[in-house]
Amino acid sequence: MRWTSLASPYPVELCRAYCEYVSSDVSRITDQAPLAATSVNFELKVAQRVLIGDTAIDYTHVDDTLALASSERVAVRHINELAHRARTKGFSIGEINTAGDIEPFIGYSVRQSGRISPSPARAQLIYNAVTELLRQPKVKVRDVASIVGVLAWLFLLRRCLFAVFASSYAFLRKPLEAVLPLWPSVRRELRHARNLIPLAFLDLTWRAHPVVLAQDAQGATEGVNGGAGLAMAVPPPMEVLEGILCRPRGSAGPAAPDLRRELKGWLPPESARALLVGNWRWWDFMAATWRAADHINAGEIRATLLWLEVLARSPECRHLRVLLLSDSTVAIGAMSKGRSSSFPLNRLLRRRMALEAAGGFTTTLRWVTSKVMPADRLSRERRVKGRIVGLFRKTRKDLFRTSQIRGVSKR
């Protein structure tokens, strides 16, 4: 694949105008023919994610535009056309670079096998930098911030690894020029983060798991500790893929969040309608009761961890992307981010990190309303109806016997 880029030397206000124009208007203006390309600044359909023939994909970030195509000829032609159209609108375009290696532009190495990861040399440099920092009796807070920033950039490839950080962010609240001894908890987190560097990768060849999983939890009430329920379905493959790609069916418009809506409070998308959850056939898998009362937010994540234990115990789930449904915005927000500022939740997310890393799979959570949540009844009645069918039935008995999730018991 070939990657080309162009940059604009404008100040912030004009950079914003440039980004808006190139990412939205350049392919929609009426006085010129539309480009045979798709901007990834906007939501894409599944078919648009495959480069066929002379098509190209471009992405604009602030004042930089990148174009990706199947050949250098197509990428150069596309980026030159974008530059020409931008110049006709008064923008001054800077240098246009062409390279067969994507790494100089995004910092990651893209292998022919489909794996995106830091280059071995870059990963070794980061490993050595963390090791050198850990050897110092006292460190400058600014140096720790730089190391944590580089590790955070690395862990963007695998969000679950962010859970390793907790005390490190509290340490960074100190004055940046202060020279302090590393807290034992920060030292421990940096040591673990250094050892997780080989797991920071994204593999584009991992297929979607055909089974969609749903989980729900009930909070503690008077005299009842609450519980959890797990259910599963086998919907049409394209609906599973669209769910994993977080692209609701029939949606359109910018992929970026609507800031005006965020100012009024975050509202979850209507994923239930988009995924047609109510039309799928669901099977009950498990109903459990917590042995001790717990907060509902922690219970929702614990219910997700039950599914992750099932997946980690199933060798056929390796190298797959799994779609999970939840009606808890707190659980989805924390797991999508990778970590939580709440220590009780982040502790559970660290267990999620271990299960995904050891099991060799990755998960995507989508929100559905409680009205259509198939596991809602199980979390309250805690009674499975029908036979346990499908891929995980042998794992279910083993889960009750050896689960490390605190307080799981069968009823």
First to last CA, the chain: 55
Residue 110 lies in a domain: no
Domain housing 16:
2-102
Is 108 domain-assigned?
Answer: no
* Residue 402, pLDDT score: 44
Instruction: Check residue 291 and give its pLDDT.
Output: 77
Q: How far apart are CA 348 and CA 328, in angstroms?
A: 15
pLDDT reported for residue 164: 95
Tell me if 375 is assigned to some domain: yes
Could you tell me if 82 and 122 lie in one domain?
Answer: no
Q: Is 30 exposed, middle or buried (0-12, 13-18, 19+ CB in 10 A)?
A: exposed
Q: Name the domain boundary from 102, 129, 155.
A: 102
Question: Is the domain of 17 the same as that of 141?
Answer: no
**Pair (326, 361) in one structural domain:** yes
Instruction: Examine the domain organization and report whether 280 and 400 are in the same domain.
Output: yes
Residue 111 lies in a domain: no
Domain edge (last residue) among 203, 230, 247: 203
- The CATH number covering residue 335 comes to 3.30.420.10
Out of 153, 188, 203, a domain closes at: 203
Residue 262, in any domain of the structure: yes
Per the structure, the count of domains in the chain is 3
109 located within any domain: no
Closest CA to 368 of 330, 326, 310, 335: 326
If asked whether residues 241 and 379 sit together in one domain, one would say yes
Q: Is 114 exposed, middle or buried (0-12, 13-18, 19+ CB in 10 A)?
A: exposed
Could you write out the three-class secondary structure of the chain? CEEEEEECCCCHHHHHHHHHHHHHHCCCCCCCCCCCEEECCECCCHHHHCCCCCCEEEEEECCEEEEEECCHHHHHHHHHHHHHHHHHCCCCCCCEEEECCCHHHHCCEECCCCEEECCHHHHHHHHHHHHHHHHCCCEEHHHHHHHHHHHHHHHCCCHHHHHHCCHHHHHCCCCCCCEECCCHHHHHHHHHHHHCHHHCCEECCCEECCCEEEEEEECCECCECCEEEEEEECCCHHHHHHHHCCCCCCCCCECCCCHHHHHCCCCCCCHHHHHCHHHCCEEEEEEEEECCCCCHHHHHHHHHHHHHHHHHCCHHHCCEEEEEEECCHHHHHHHHHCCCCCHHHHHHHHHHHHHHHHHCCEEEEEECCCCCCCCHHHHHHCCCCCCCCCCCHHHHHHHHHHCCCCCEEEC
Same domain? 71 vs 123: no
Residue 309 belongs to a domain: yes
pLDDT at 404: 40
Question: Looking at the structure, do residues 179 and 218 belong to the same domain, yes or no?
Answer: no
pLDDT by 10s per residue, the chain, length 411: 334 444 444 455 555 555 555 555 544 433 344 444 455 555 455 445 556 567 777 777 666 777 777 777 887 888 888 788 778 777 777 777 766 566 666 678 877 788 889 889 899 999 999 999 999 999 999 999 999 999 999 999 999 999 999 999 999 999 989 999 999 999 999 999 999 999 999 988 888 888 899 998 887 776 777 788 888 888 888 888 777 776 444 333 333 344 344 433 344 444 434 567 878 888 888 887 777 778 888 889 999 998 998 888 888 889 999 999 998 889 998 998 999 999 999 999 999 999 999 899 999 988 888 888 888 888 777 655 544 444 455 455 554 444 444 344 443
Is the domain of 184 the same as that of 226? no
Report the distance separating Cα 134 and Cα 191, nearest Å: 8
Residues 314 and 214: their CA atoms lie apart, in Å, by 17
Is residue 158 domain-shared with residue 258, that is, in the same domain? no
Together in a domain, 45 and 165: no
Q: Are residues 147 and 192 in the same domain?
A: yes
260 domain residue, yes or no: yes
Let me know whether 228 and 345 are in one domain. Answer: yes
Identity at 363, one-letter amino acid code? T
CB 261 within 8 A of CB 358: no
CATH code where residue 36 lies: 3.30.70
